[in-house]
Amino acid sequence: MVPGSIAHHEKCPQCGSGLVHLEWYERVNGQEIHHLWRCWNCKNEFVTVLTSDEKEPPVTEITEPFFTSLLV
């Protein structure tokens, strides 16, 4: 996935710098997103996890509207 522009308050756990850049992120499931950060100061990479208590929608709720619209 390509990183998006997101506001953050992350600091490098190695040097404490606030000059960090979002390199990559991945939605692991409906409740969890992993962010890979890189520090501009010391080049350290670290991961943060963003979790939500939203319930993941059932597969049929996602696929049914999509696939029925493909039928001719």
Alpha helices in 1-72 (DSSP H): 59-70
**Per-residue model confidence (pLDDT) at position 5:** 45
End-to-end CA distance of the chain: 32
Judge whether 42 lies within some domain.
yes
Higher pLDDT, 39 or 1: 39
Judge whether 8 lies within some domain.
no
Judge whether 5 lies within some domain.
no
Judge whether 2 lies within some domain.
no
Does pLDDT of 6 surpass 80?
Answer: no
How many domains does the structure of the chain reveal? 1
**Per-residue model confidence (pLDDT) at position 2:** 41
* Average pLDDT score over residue span 28-52: 91
Higher pLDDT, 10 or 44: 44
The answer to whether the predicted template modeling score (pTM) of the entire model surpasses 0.75 is no
Judge whether 51 lies within some domain.
yes
